[in-house]
Amino acid sequence: MVQKELIVAEGYRPISSVWEGNDGDLIENMLQFYASIAPEPILDATYNKGRFWKGSPRNVVSMDINPKFNPMIVGDNRVMAGVPDGAFGTVVYDPPHVGPQGRDKSSKKFDEDFGATVACGKEQDWSLSYLYPPFLEQAKRVLKPDGLLLAKITDMVNSHRSKWSHCDFMRMADEAGFTVCDLIIKIRSGPMTSTKWSTAHHARKRHCFWIICRNSSRCER
């Protein structure tokens, strides 16, 4: 009987489609697995406190609309004023995934810490997906050909409406001229809860999606 042999290319290390560790380690793994050109410099277009890069030796340019976080570039990632074309090997994007949570003091701190300061009401169809197309246009502009876009997207329930933000993002990335290459599910220890809601009724609220896009018409290297 002939035994099947698994042929593994030299240096090949597979990546799991489900991730239980932290974002920083996952980003490093994604850079090593998907990058087909040098992944640096990296633009983190929603830097906040830079939690992704704690202990990372990567060359990261920080951008945030909120000057409170002291990013290198204080700016709107839907405009990226002054950022040159084709400057980055990777763009990382972790946009707000909920709208403002209320007016009391603790909610305000939550809003600032997680960037939940962007309008998300009836006019926006109770969704933040309207942020994606202008950002995607800029991400494509500032990325080198074949550069990577790594986006962390969490589906949301807003005003009792369940939104499929990660599907919106993938469709819009495709429309913007990216190739959507892959999707990794990152699991939290439990669903997000807050002072406004203490139970979550959708299983997918326990995880977020990392979407891997290439600035190219094809995904293969």
Ligand X SMILES: C[S@@+](CC[C@H](N)C(=O)[O-])C[C@H]1O[C@@H](n2cnc3c(N)ncnc32)[C@H](O)[C@@H]1O
Return d(Cα 78, Cα 134) in angstroms, integer.
5
146 is a contact residue toward ligand X (CB under 6 A) = no
Query: Is position 58 an interface residue for ligand X (rule: CB under 6 A)?
Result: no
Half-sphere exposure of residue 38, counting CA atoms within 13 Å on the CB side? 7
Burial (CB < 10 A; 0-12, 13-18, 19+), residue 52, is buried
Residue closer to ligand X, measured from CB, 173 or 216: 173
96: helix, strand or coil: coil
Stretch 69-128 residues interacting with ligand X (CB under 6 A): 69, 76-78, 94-96, 114-115, 118
| Closer Cβ to ligand X, 98 or 170, answer by number | 98
* Binding pattern for the stretch 38-57 against ligand X, x by CB under 6 A and - elsewhere: --------x-xxxxx-----
For strand 60-64 and strand 73-74, is the pairing parallel, antiparallel, or unpaired?
parallel
Measured from the CB of residue 59, what is the shortest distance to ligand X in angstroms?
Answer: 17
Cα separation, 98 vs 113, whole angstroms = 12
- Which residues of this chain interact with ligand X, rule CB under 6 A? 46, 48-52, 63-66, 69, 76-78, 94-96, 114-115, 118
